[in-house]
Amino acid sequence: MPELRLLDAIRQAMYEEMKRDERVVVLGEDVGPKGGVFGATDGFWAEFGEARVLDTPLAESTIVGAAIGMAANGLIPIAEIQFSDFIFPATNQIVSEAARMRYRSNGAFGCPIVIRAPYGGGVEVHGGLYHSQSIEAFFAHVPGLKVVAPSVPYDAKGLLKAAIRDPDPVLYLEHKRLYRAVRGEVPEDDYVVPIGPAVVRRPGTTLSLFAYGQMLHEALAVAAEMAGEGIDVEVVDLQTLRPLDVETILASVRKTNKALIVYEDNRFLGFGAEVAAIIAEEAFDALDGPVMRVAGLDVPAVPYADPLAAAFMPSRAKIADAVRRLATY
Amino acid sequence: MVDRDRQTATVQARHVTLGLSDDDVLRMYHTLALARALDERMWVLQRAGLVPFVISGQGHEGAQVGVMWATDRARDWLVPFYRSLAACLAKGMSARDLMLGLFARAEDPSSGGRQMPAHWAHPRLKILSTSSPVGTQYLHAVGIAYAAKLRKTGEVCVTSVGEGGTSQGDWHEAMNFAGIHKLPVVFMVENNRYAISVPQRLQMAVDDVAVRAAGYGFPGVVVDGSDVLACYEAGREAVRRARAGEGPTLIEAKVERLTAHSSEDRQEKYRPTADVEAARSRDPLVVFKHYLEQVGLLDERRYTEIHAQIRAEVDDATAYAERAPWPDPATVTRHVYYEG
Ligand SMILES: Cc1ncc(C[n+]2csc(CCOP(=O)(O)OP(=O)(O)O)c2C)c(N)n1
């Protein structure tokens, strides 16, 4: 099986879906001849033509709003938001329109669109305040929208295919740091990874560590390190943030009796807050310690200078510290 | 003194010259009058406390029926806004459909009672579901038109908004996108000079919204929204252009808002009485009725007949909707996601 980078897996998923179904179109800023600023649609324009690989005006509300109309009239649009930080001009179209279309029409109209958005920061990303944000909590809050944040190439490809074939709007978040940093085996044949299930990436008994995206890799690294100290960390990759796989989360907590959630977004009301609330509500009787969170600091977003960015992020040291505290609680 | 026969001949030439049959204009009149009668009934029901909320299309019917008549009503799309009652009727929604929406009954085809009244939708009739935020629908129309062009379906999409809505970014974005791709879309602005209470002069520094079309690379026309035939003519040219691949047209219909903004509004607070009275003289229903009388298509007997029929239709729709069952509370969580 070929080893692919996360970016290549994403590109391959879209390429295969465009080949398979001519209703699939891609639209966004610079997705045409340039092939996207990260290269996710590299070569598509030459192969599928400018009508199906559409360079839009620099207008995010247009990208999502037009995609909604295209979907209503028989296309399957994949809308690329160049950086998730710039999705906010399209928020109204996503929240008030795409996510509510089905409910508000009593099931008559769906909205089968995919919105892809590179997100996330860290020292390696050098994105600063407006090229590093985590936006998942804003959108995971919205019923009617599905939110996916893959962490490894195999699932990235399968989840994106699932998103494209999904009859509902899916926000597909791609962590920028992972594009080129992670590799993994990706089959060349057609497969789909269902939206919804979380994946236990590493079984363990001492405590459960929940993460997604780039933080999943930090969590795995810390878990490996902790094994040497006799702390057996179970790492669960949430992978789909909405709908959330509550069963897998609770099963893991019931097994280890301790929960730590790691996420890169601001801590306050970040995605981990919901996970913590669910555990506290549903598995209180199983807990042998406080539900803990390690998250981004509550400053507006990841600052640019390396030392500041490092200070912002939930580093391995911060995670390891929390793991030790919880393990010995 | 003008020779009466000659005058008749000249005005008669108008709808015939436009290629409309006598039957066409009578059906248009029926649609206009039905829209008005339904709308008036909705206010009565609201005042009687039978329904909580009404928003009205009174004064806008001429523009809507005129333009919709220029489309292929089975094949083309409508992306409406909350005053599009007459356009929805023209597209094929029934009086019962509309009343079911007002009463928020389970059978309401627009939303099954989930949205406020006047948030129309009808998939079979190609009427896309509407939300409340003003202006968003222009972009959906543009997407529909893009898909029509790519899939070569020959469909045209009509969408509409008030002049206040043209202040929204989405309005401008949609105009820009449609101009770039020469999309088969007809943009309407139903300009009644008020956005709730805010007058046009505080929405824009131009007299006519239509001039903005030039900035996006396609024609904009101003049309008298009280003149159904003028609206039909503008619509026909816009649809022709769209179908021929020549791109969008912006039609600004100058209309009157004959009622308050909604049943929650008291327009006496911001609108001079004289303005409201002047609006009455531009009532498209009255103007069209005069025209039909002048050309000898509508006399006392016919008028009584049509209106008796409409009254029966409105009575039936009201009684039907009032008796129709409420949505089952058990369905409140349905249709958040696709259910197969
Ligand atoms: C984005 C948004 N802001 C505010 C409102 C509240 N609102 C509803 S209708 C309206 C006025 C719209 O005026 P206009 O577009 O001129 O249409 P008209 O009602 O006059 O036909 C306002 C402010 C809204 N629905 N959406």
Report residue B78 as tokens. 């409508």
A94 to chain B, minimum CA–CA distance in Å? Answer: 11
- Amino acid identity, position B325: P
Are the Cβ atoms of A72 and B143 closer than 8 angstroms?
yes
pLDDT band at residue B10, thresholds of 50, 70 and 90? low
Please count the CA atoms within 13 angstroms of the CA of B72 that sit on its side-chain side.
Answer: 11
At residue A175, φ and ψ (nearest 5 deg) are -75, 125
Atom of ligand 1 nearest to the CA of B261: 19
User: Residue B11: pLDDT above 70?
Assistant: no
Are the Cβ atoms of A168 and B123 closer than 8 angstroms?
no
Please count the CA atoms within 13 angstroms of the CA of B13 that sit on its side-chain side.
Answer: 5
pLDDT band at residue B13, thresholds of 50, 70 and 90? confident
At residue B221, φ and ψ (nearest 5 deg) are -125, 150
Nearest to A144 among B132, B150, B337 (CB): B337
Report residue A153 as tokens. 């190439």
User: Residue B78: pLDDT above 70?
Assistant: yes
Chain A CB contacts of B168 below 8 Å: none
**pLDDT value at residue B1:** 38
**Residue B148 at interface with chain A, using a CB cutoff of 8 Å:** yes
Q: Whose CA is nearest to atom 17 of ligand 1?
A: B162
Q: Report the residue of chain B nearest A64, measured CA to CA.
A: B139
Sign of CA dihedral A306, A312, A313, A316: positive
Q: Which of B217, B288, B242 is nearest to B28 (CA)?
A: B288
Are the Cβ atoms of A61 and B147 closer than 8 angstroms?
no
Pairing of strands A146-148, A170-175: parallel
**Residue B71 at interface with chain A, using a CB cutoff of 8 Å:** no
**pLDDT value at residue A2:** 87
pLDDT tens by residue, B319-337 = 999 999 999 999 999 999 9
Sign of CA dihedral A92, A95, A99, A105: negative
To test ligand 1's pocket by mutation, which of B55, B81, B131, B134 has the most ligand atoms within 8 angstroms of CB? B134
CA–CA dist B211, B186 (Å, integer): 15
Ligand 1 mean position to B196 CA, how many Å? Answer: 7
Residue B265 vs residues B196, B197, B254: alpha-carbon distances, Å: 8, 9, 22
Q: How would you write the pLDDT of chain A (329 residues) with one tens digit per residue? A: 889 999 999 999 999 999 999 999 999 999 999 999 999 999 999 999 999 999 999 999 999 999 999 999 999 999 999 999 999 999 999 999 999 999 999 999 999 999 999 999 998 899 999 999 999 999 999 999 999 999 999 999 999 999 999 999 999 999 999 999 999 999 988 999 999 999 999 999 999 999 999 999 999 999 999 999 999 999 999 999 999 999 999 999 999 999 999 999 999 999 999 999 999 999 999 999 999 999 999 999 999 999 999 999 999 999 999 999 999 99
For chain B, the average pLDDT equals 96
- Cβ–Cβ under 8 Å, residues B335 and A107: yes
CA–CA dist B172, B215 (Å, integer): 10
**pLDDT value at residue A189:** 87
- Complex ipTM: 0.93
**pLDDT value at residue A42:** 97
Maximum alpha-carbon separation in chain A: 60
**Residue A257 at interface with chain B, using a CB cutoff of 8 Å:** no
Are the Cβ atoms of B180 and A57 closer than 8 angstroms?
yes
CA–CA dist B309, A60 (Å, integer): 49
To test ligand 1's pocket by mutation, which of B82, B196, B256 has the most ligand atoms within 8 angstroms of CB? B196
Q: B199 - beta bridge partners? A: B194
3-state secondary structure chain B: CCCHHHHHHHHHHHHHHCCCCHHHHHHHHHHHHHHHHHHHHHHHHHHCCCCCCCECCCCCHHHHHHHHHCCCCCCCEEECCCCCHHHHHHHCCCHHHHHHHHCCCCCCCCCCCCCCCCCCCECCCCECCCCCCCCCHHHHHHHHHHHHHHCCCCCCEEEEEECHHHHCHHHHHHHHHHHHHCCCEEEEEEECCEECCEEHHHCCCCCCHHHHHHHHCCCEEEEECCCHHHHHHHHHHHHHHHHCCCCCEEEEEECCCCCCCECCCCHHHCCCHHHHHHHHHCCHHHHHHHHHHHCCCCCHHHHHHHHHHHHHHHHHHHHHHHHCCCCCHHHCCCCCCCCC
pTM: 0.95
Q: Which of B79, B54, B70 is nearest to B19 (CA)?
A: B70
pLDDT tens by residue, B227-279 = 999 999 999 999 999 999 999 999 999 999 999 999 999 999 999 999 999 99
- Cβ–Cβ under 8 Å, residues A175 and A158: no
Q: What number of C-beta contacts closer than 8 Å exist between A and B?
A: 147
User: Residue B5: pLDDT above 60?
Assistant: no
At residue A91, φ and ψ (nearest 5 deg) are -55, -45
- Cβ–Cβ under 8 Å, residues B233 and B17: no
User: Residue B4: pLDDT above 80?
Assistant: no
> Is the peptide bond preceding residue A314 cis, with omega within 30 degrees of 0?
no
Atom of ligand 1 nearest to the CA of B191: 16
Q: Chain B 121-140, CB below 8 Å of chain A: which residues?
A: 121-123, 128-129, 131-133, 136, 138-140
Ligand 1 mean position to B262 CA, how many Å? Answer: 11
Nearest to A96 among B79, B131, B335 (CB): B131
Q: A184 - beta bridge partners? A: A4
At residue A179, φ and ψ (nearest 5 deg) are -45, -50
**Residue A104 at interface with chain B, using a CB cutoff of 8 Å:** yes
Please classify residue A242 by burial: count the beta carbons closer than 10 Å to its beta carbon, then call 0-12 exposed, 13-18 middle and 19+ buried. Answer: buried
Exposure string of A262-292, with b = 16+ CB inside 10 Å and e = fewer, is: bbbbbeeebbbbbbbebbeeebeeebebebb
Ligand 1 neighbourhood includes B165 CB (under 6 angstroms): yes
**pLDDT value at residue B2:** 42
Residues of A that are catalytic: 131
